[in-house]
């Protein structure tokens, strides 16, 4: 057994450490901090209950879907197009992805009230509670990801022990690739369903509450206010967690699958998994760097969070050098620089997102300025800002691809280059433990603010939670940039793995096919066109879904205001559960069409245009989906913060005409940044996964 | 000389017939119809003067650009990377494209007042004047296009007469390809500059006039009202004309260039040119089908225009069968079906655009509905509608590509397949003479309405011009769909020609290069990403340009209202020329950055990522640009007509809250549909052209 094979034990070890640390954090938060007086607990419990109800409903629907898919996969395996491990790998991928989202969400709903209460004492204390709550999510995602990977790797390694190394590795990685499909499918439902839920509640609550009834945000009289807070948890926490769980395991298995063709053998398979384990430990250490003084301004708070991420990134940069050196030798040290390229690209994308969406910088200020001339100009400038903000992430990811490809020796060994692209994705995602912590922190702070408002806390409490919330907006935006960038890089690695799998299958099944991947092959070209169109189509479906669901909430809120006597005067209690129930039902129905689109598109294209058409489809979807997702996320972010900038007193402040225009921008931005934009991440990854799993089926059954 | 070479004489003949017919139409409109009383002539003259002033300024700026480019091309030719014909071909392309726009625009500004006056007599008379005015534009574009093609073809054929047929054809088509770059560059300035002018004036006039001063649209008290009407002419007429001139000649020369490699020889070169000539004659006959009864409803008027297009398309379908049969023989009759695929695809795209943007159908009604819940929901639903409307055009173009490729024998002869894709583009554009006539008709009717309003005509006149104008909105939308669809197909033909040229150059210059066009070549992939991003970047530049220019108009209109005593009471006359001057200056400055982006992007990518990177760039830009352009055009169209639907009495009608929200949608849609969206057509074509012209230079000078 080589050194690397021994080091591979770090993967399960990292997994266990991450899960233990998550347990420790959860224990401290829950035991050491109090949830406060009964009226606060009541609100927190209502949010928890709503989130649980939603998740329960969602998971039963998804379970049905998984059961059907498992049967289909079993049938296809029986036909000989897949190994019999595939359906089970698919199920575990879905299970762990869902579990990560569930635990993260449960923790988040248990942290918000405690954050609000801690804010009574000090800002630093509140930050620590919220961040610890978010860190649970980060640790659970990476911990469960590594756990799933480790179990399958060791199990398959044992099962295929009689095969020679190359075949064994090939069989292991081919099977492991397929559990990414389970994770993606789960993530799709979590992101799309959660995204529809959260924005239907948000938009619905705002449309009647703020605009018609003229009551402030988070006012307990608004029947949709609990649903709005539930939405933050099911969309931004559970959805985001499942999404990044998928990128995480997807990038690792894709890279591992590329190791064989690249000629890196077992060490090449081990590097991404050990890298991930190193990232877990670095993330844990990084969390200890997150602390701030009292009365800290937003800039200082942000610096505190950043310190944690940068510390982790630095540790990873150092340790992975030693890792690559010992695993692949000094002549392959270029692989290390590929990792570095991914790591740095992730950081730059985060900074670029911050520049375009934070109220501190020119772009968002300009959007706020354009609110002076009304609703239309604020929309135009927000979209224009979102559009131009796509340049840096695309150039950075492009540079990372080129650099990682050539640094890993792609000029002489094409497959080694593709392995480099994969390992760059792993490098970018190696900080996931802590990046996700800063990200999940956002909705916790947001909910804490809502709870403080609903339970009528002292102004200082609300002021502190507001500071945390404003910071949360920035980390949410950068987190989205990171999620999209890593999804694009992961999807590229998956596409490379797809091509690799095609060759393996063609050889294995003795198919006499000469695949033409030329970009001027009309099948590729048409696939590319269709792929470029799909994100727009998908985005439209999800936005329309939010619109329809929000409409239902509007009717329900109006009904309660009319039918519950004394509600508007604050004398009677609204029926929160009804609004939650309506959002839940709407989200469940509305996520069917987008989900089917993502799953069926590569199959239909495959049947009609063959695997070449599918390759074009994937490339087109990744390219245009990446750009559209960045645009939607950043437009939404800049509108949100332009509104906040005006609320902070610019251009007449709250209630002025510019503020109304800015609110329009923010409302348009809501489905952009929290539903359609993030859903595109999954669209591109899930389509790649479906293509890989069904590759043999398509190769044998394509019409042309 | 073969039959086809003899038939080639049809090209110059068609050209002369088109130009004569244009002259005849212009003569009838100007001589037979009166421009009306002095106050009408005054307004018409002001619009003409503004348009002339703009065009004069624009053309002097563009002349400078062309001079610089010609010197650069001469230098590159001197270095041996181009023939010495190229700079001159480039100049003639630009000259004729500009001339087509200029004549079309001059005619349009001479037709609007006459249309308004004819509307005093009858609706049918007004329709005939406006349509004849538009038909001049259509005929001039195809006439000058064929003229330029014919001159160069015969001149080069004579110059290269000593070469063997294959080499001669290759030299001819390679040179002719480069004059497309001149046409594209001119079109870019016309589309972008005109687009910025028209929307800056429109948005600026609306923001102060309608919103602040509360005066209706087209009110003569508004100082920007003439600029607004000028904008329709410089943007929608001259810009559209130059754009489609470019698609027209671009598709023909690209197809001709592909004929050699396809093995179709001289007949293959002749077919697209003779096809175009047939289209000219069919278009002329088609114009005689356009007439309506009195008191015709919009549906009947639309049917009248459609009858003309369908009649032309039918004639082309019949004649081109005979043409392909006699030119290429019955065994190549698949080429005919490729033509048919393009022709039908164009018609379907037009119908799909109409469905998504006309107030008669569900999508636009739904957008109007969403105005009930306010500004934000109308924006969200308009964008969602635009996004989903991309599916049909993309699928239709995709189907046309696949069908034309395989019907022309692409399965056994790759280059013959690509020739099929090119000839499909020619087929789609063969109806251009009459399609463009219905398209240019729109701004004429729009201006006629404005003139009727400004000169206080009787209500019946305004009612008739309104009917014509409403119809113009629909034809403008379908015209845009057609422009985008044909641009995408043309760009694909150009990309195919690009690859062809690369192989010719590599062979000619004895370069030992093995190009790898695999979609998984990281250079291609990164090019693809950058290409997918560019339309967003470009769209942002043009939208921001409109915003800045509109801001200047807002300030000017406010200044005039303040400083000119009696203006707001209607006692003093506004200084229209100043507003025109400001728009002109702003458009000139603002079009520099987008133009440089389009020209430099393929060169910079070429230097860094080689010709493979450029191929990826082009494919990415075409795919994402096509989708984005359709989305922007259709979102804009649906908002425009949703507003009109409300103004017709739905949801409270004019002045209601839903109407205000719909106006916001319309204002956002203005730069979408009239500036950024249409500019993307040129972006994708110009980048392809630049890539072709600089192919040899990049092959010799790429860094990697």
* pLDDT of amino acid A294: 65
Distance from A127 to chain B by nearest Cα, in Å?
34
If we measure between CA atoms, which residue out of A682, A671, A690 comes closest to residue A626? Answer: A682
Chain A residues lying within 8 Å of B619, measured CB to CB: 519, 525, 528
Residue B598 CB coordination number (10 Å): 26
* pLDDT of amino acid A374: 85
Q: Pick the residue of B363, B370, B380 with the most A CBs within 10 A to test the interface with A by mutation.
A: B380
Among A123-127, A219-223, B465-469, B676-680, top mean pLDDT goes to B676-680
Chain B residues lying within 8 Å of A597, measured CB to CB: none
Across residues B522-526, what is the average pLDDT?
A: 94
Helices within B389-517 (DSSP H only) = 391-407, 414-429, 432-454, 459-508
Q: Do A520 and B499 touch (CB under 8 A)?
A: yes
b or e along A67-79 (b: 16 or more beta carbons within 10 Å of the residue's beta carbon)? Answer: eebbeebbebbee
Higher pLDDT, A578 or A403: A403
- Partner residue facing A525 (CB), from B386, B492, B609: B492
Q: What is the share, in percent, of chain A residues with pLDDT greater than 70? A: 98
Query: What are the residue ranges spanned by the domains of chain B?
Result: 3-701
Helix, strand, coil distribution of chain A in percent, nearest 5: 85, 0, 15
Q: Are B618 and B366 in contact (CB under 8 A)?
A: no
Q: Do B547 and A370 touch (CB under 8 A)?
A: yes
Q: Are B264 and B416 in contact (CB under 8 A)?
A: yes
Higher pLDDT, A689 or B473: A689
pLDDT in tens, A533-590: 999 999 999 999 988 888 888 888 888 888 888 888 878 888 888 888 888 888 888 8
Q: Are B478 and B668 in contact (CB under 8 A)?
A: no
Across residues A185-200, what is the average pLDDT?
A: 88
In chain B, whose CA is at the least distance from the CA of A612?
Answer: B519
If we measure between CA atoms, which residue out of B268, B246, B229 comes closest to residue B455? Answer: B229
pLDDT in tens, B160-208: 999 988 888 888 888 888 888 898 888 888 888 888 888 888 888 887 8
Q: Do B381 and A517 touch (CB under 8 A)?
A: no
Distance from A541 to chain B by nearest Cα, in Å?
7
If we measure between CA atoms, which residue out of A141, A85, A152, A180 comes closest to residue A688? Answer: A180
CA distances from A236 to A110, A445, A626, B218, B490 (A): 15, 12, 19, 48, 43
Chain A residues lying within 8 Å of B199, measured CB to CB: none
Is B217 a residue whose pLDDT tops 80? no
Q: Do B383 and A624 touch (CB under 8 A)?
A: no
Tokens representing A185 are 């499918």
If we measure between CA atoms, which residue out of B282, B193, B260 comes closest to residue B231? Answer: B193
In angstroms, the CA B12 to CA B21 distance is 14
Chain B residues lying within 8 Å of A499, measured CB to CB: 520
Q: Do A526 and B402 touch (CB under 8 A)?
A: yes
Tokens representing A676 are 């359609």
Residues 6+ apart with CB under 8 A from A495: A615, A618, A619, A622, A688, B520
- Partner residue facing B394 (CB), from A399, A530, A551: A530
Q: Pick the residue of A384, A549, A621, A677 with the most B CBs within 10 A to test the interface with B by mutation.
A: A384
* pLDDT of amino acid A328: 86
* pLDDT of amino acid A580: 86
Across residues A292-315, what is the average pLDDT?
A: 80
pLDDT band of residue B405 (cuts 50, 70, 90) is very high
Chain B residues lying within 8 Å of A517, measured CB to CB: 518-520
Is A301 a residue whose pLDDT tops 80? no
Chain A residues lying within 8 Å of B552, measured CB to CB: none
CA distances from B429 to B250, B273, B276, B426, B433 (A): 10, 12, 8, 5, 9
Chain A residues lying within 8 Å of B362, measured CB to CB: none
Distance from A313 to chain B by nearest Cα, in Å?
25
Chain A residues lying within 8 Å of B631, measured CB to CB: 536
Chain A residues lying within 8 Å of B525, measured CB to CB: 401, 492, 619
Q: Do B522 and A554 touch (CB under 8 A)?
A: no
In chain A, whose CA is at the least distance from the CA of B630?
Answer: A533
Q: Are A238 and A102 in contact (CB under 8 A)?
A: yes
pLDDT in tens, B429-477: 999 999 899 888 888 998 898 898 888 888 888 888 888 887 887 788 8
Q: Do B664 and A203 touch (CB under 8 A)?
A: no
Distance from A153 to chain B by nearest Cα, in Å?
28
* pLDDT of amino acid B132: 92
In chain B, whose CA is at the least distance from the CA of A413?
Answer: B521
Q: Do B615 and A387 touch (CB under 8 A)?
A: no
pLDDT band of residue A219 (cuts 50, 70, 90) is confident
Chain A residues lying within 8 Å of B411, measured CB to CB: none
Is A282 a residue whose pLDDT tops 90? yes
- Partner residue facing A390 (CB), from B377, B384, B536: B536
In chain B, whose CA is at the least distance from the CA of A519?
Answer: B519
DSSP for residue B518: B
* pLDDT of amino acid A662: 93
Sole residue written with tokens 């695309």: A394
- Please give the interface size between A and B, counted as residue pairs whose CB atoms are below 8 Å apart: 230
Distance from B524 to chain A by nearest Cα, in Å?
8
- Partner residue facing A384 (CB), from B518, B544, B551: B544
Is A253 a residue whose pLDDT tops 80? yes
Tell me how far apart the terminal alpha carbons of chain A are, to the nearest angstrom. 46
Chain B residues lying within 8 Å of A387, measured CB to CB: 536-537, 539-540, 543
Interface TM-score (ipTM) > 0.90: yes
In chain A, whose CA is at the least distance from the CA of B389?
Answer: A537
* pLDDT of amino acid A223: 84
pLDDT in tens, B528-537: 999 999 999 9
Tokens representing A452 are 């403080």
Higher pLDDT, B570 or B499: B499
pLDDT in tens, A657-668: 899 999 999 999
In angstroms, the CA A505 to CA A142 distance is 31
What predicted TM-score, i.e. pTM, was given to this entire model? 0.94
Q: Pick the residue of A502, A521, A529, A597 with the most B CBs within 10 A to test the interface with B by mutation.
A: A529
- Partner residue facing A668 (CB), from B379, B385, B626: B379
Q: Do B417 and A492 touch (CB under 8 A)?
A: no
Residues 6+ apart with CB under 8 A from A390: A627, A630, A631, A634, B533, B536, B537
pLDDT band of residue A482 (cuts 50, 70, 90) is confident
Is B1 a residue whose pLDDT tops 60? no
Distance from A108 to chain B by nearest Cα, in Å?
30
Is A226 a residue whose pLDDT tops 90? no
* Average pLDDT, rounded, for chain A: 89
pLDDT band of residue A296 (cuts 50, 70, 90) is low
Alpha-carbon B169 to chain mean position: 29
Q: What is the CA radius of gyration of chain A?
A: 24
Cβ burial, residue B298 (10 Å; 0-12/13-18/19+): middle
- Partner residue facing B384 (CB), from A376, A385, A544: A544
Q: What is the share, in percent, of chain B residues with pLDDT greater than 90? A: 44
pLDDT in tens, B580-638: 888 888 888 888 899 899 999 999 999 999 999 999 999 999 999 999 999 999 999 99
Distance from A540 to chain B by nearest Cα, in Å?
4
Is B654 a residue whose pLDDT tops 60? yes
Q: Do B384 and A540 touch (CB under 8 A)?
A: yes
pLDDT band of residue A52 (cuts 50, 70, 90) is confident
pLDDT in tens, A97-118: 999 999 999 999 999 999 999 9
Across residues B329-338, what is the average pLDDT?
A: 90
In angstroms, the CA B146 to CA B50 distance is 30
pLDDT band of residue B297 (cuts 50, 70, 90) is low
Distance from B350 to chain A by nearest Cα, in Å?
18
* pLDDT of amino acid A326: 87
Q: Do A402 and B523 touch (CB under 8 A)?
A: yes
* pLDDT of amino acid B147: 94
In angstroms, the CA A573 to CA A120 distance is 26
- Partner residue facing A398 (CB), from B499, B530, B540: B530
């Amino acid at each position: 057994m080589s050194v690397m094979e021994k080091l591979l034990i770090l993967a399960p070890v990292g997994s266990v450490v991450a899960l233990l640390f998550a347990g420790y954090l959860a224990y401290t938060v829950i035991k050491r901090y109090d949830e406060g007086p009964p009226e606060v607990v009541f609100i927190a419990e209502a949010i928890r209950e709503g989130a649980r109800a939603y998740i329960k409903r969602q998971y039963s629907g998804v379970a049905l879907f998984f059961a059907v898919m498992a049967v289909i996969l079993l049938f296809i395996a029986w036909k000989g197009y897949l190994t019999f491990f595939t359906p089970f790998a698919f199920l575990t991928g879905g299970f762990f992805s869902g579990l990560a989202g569930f635990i993260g969400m449960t923790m988040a709903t248990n942290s918000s009230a405690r954050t609000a209460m801690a804010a009574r004492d000090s800002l630093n204390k509140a930050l620590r509670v919220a961040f610890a709550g978010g860190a649970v999510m980060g640790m659970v995602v990476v911990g469960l990801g590594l756990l799933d990977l480790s179990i399958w790797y060791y199990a398959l390694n044992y099962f295929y022990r009689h095969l020679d190394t190359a075949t064994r590795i090939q069989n292991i990685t081919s099977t492991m690739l397929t559990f990414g499909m389970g994770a993606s499918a789960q993530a799709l439902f979590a992101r799309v369903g959660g995204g529809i839920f959260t924005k239907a509640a948000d938009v619905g609550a705002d449309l009647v509450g703020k605009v018609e009834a003229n009551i402030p945000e988070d006012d307990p009289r608004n029947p949709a206010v609990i649903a709005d807070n539930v939405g933050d948890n099911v969309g931004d926490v559970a959805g985001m967690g499942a999404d990044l769980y998928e990128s995480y395991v997807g990038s690792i298995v894709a890279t591992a699958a590329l190791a064989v063709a690249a000629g890196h053998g077992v060490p090449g398979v081990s590097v991404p998994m050990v890298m991930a384990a190193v990232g877990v430990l670095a993330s844990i250490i990084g969390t200890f760097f997150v602390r701030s003084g009292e009365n800290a301004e937003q800039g200082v708070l942000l610096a505190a969070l950043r310190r944690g991420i940068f510390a982790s990134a630095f540790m990873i940069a150092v340790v992975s050098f030693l890792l690559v050196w010992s695993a692949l030798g000094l002549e392959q040290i270029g692989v290390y620089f590929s990792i570095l390229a991914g790591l740095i690209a992730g950081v730059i994308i985060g900074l670029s997102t911050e520049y375009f969406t934070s109220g501190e910088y020119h772009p968002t200020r300009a959007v706020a300025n354009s609110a002076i001339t009304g609703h239309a100009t604020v929309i135009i400038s927000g979209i224009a800002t979102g559009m131009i903000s796509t340049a840096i992430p695309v150039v950075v990811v492009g540079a990372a691809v080129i650099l990682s490809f050539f640094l890993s020796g792609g000029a002489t060994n094409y497959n080694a280059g593709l392995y480099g692209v994969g390992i760059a994705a792993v490098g970018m995602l190696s900080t996931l433990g802590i990046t996700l912590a800063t990200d999940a922190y956002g909705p916790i702070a947001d909910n804490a603010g809502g709870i403080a408002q609903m339970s009528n806390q002292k102004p200082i409490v609300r002021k502190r939670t507001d500071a945390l919330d404003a910071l949360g907006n920035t980390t949410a935006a950068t987190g989205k940039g990171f999620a999209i960038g890593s999804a694009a890089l992961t999807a590229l690695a998956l596409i490379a793995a797809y091509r690799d799998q095609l060759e393996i299958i063609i050889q294995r099944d003795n198919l006499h096919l000469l695949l033409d991947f030329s970009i001027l092959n009309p099948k590729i070209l048409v696939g590319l066109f269709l792929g470029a169109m799909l994100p727009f189509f998908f985005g439209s479906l999800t936005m329309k879904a939010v619109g329809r669901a929000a409409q239902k909430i509007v009717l329900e809120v109006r009904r309660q205001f009319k039918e519950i006597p004394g509600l508007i005067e604050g004398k009677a209690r609204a029926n929160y559960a009804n609004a939650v129930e309506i959002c839940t039902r709407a989200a469940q129905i509305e996520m069917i069409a987008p989900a089917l689109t993502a799953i069926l598109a590569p199959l239909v294209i495959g049947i009609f245009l063959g695997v070449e058409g599918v390759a074009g489809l994937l490339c087109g979807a990744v390219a245009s989906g990446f750009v559209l997702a960045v645009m939607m996320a950043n437009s939404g972010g800049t509108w949100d913060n332009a509104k906040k900038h005006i609320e902070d007193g610019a251009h007449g402040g709250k209630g002025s005409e510019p503020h109304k225009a800015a609110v329009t921008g923010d409302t348009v931005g809501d489905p952009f940044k929290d539903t359609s934009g993030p859903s595109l991440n999954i669209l591109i990854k899930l389509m790649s996964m479906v293509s890989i799993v069904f590759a043999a089926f398509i190769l044998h059954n394509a019409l042309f």
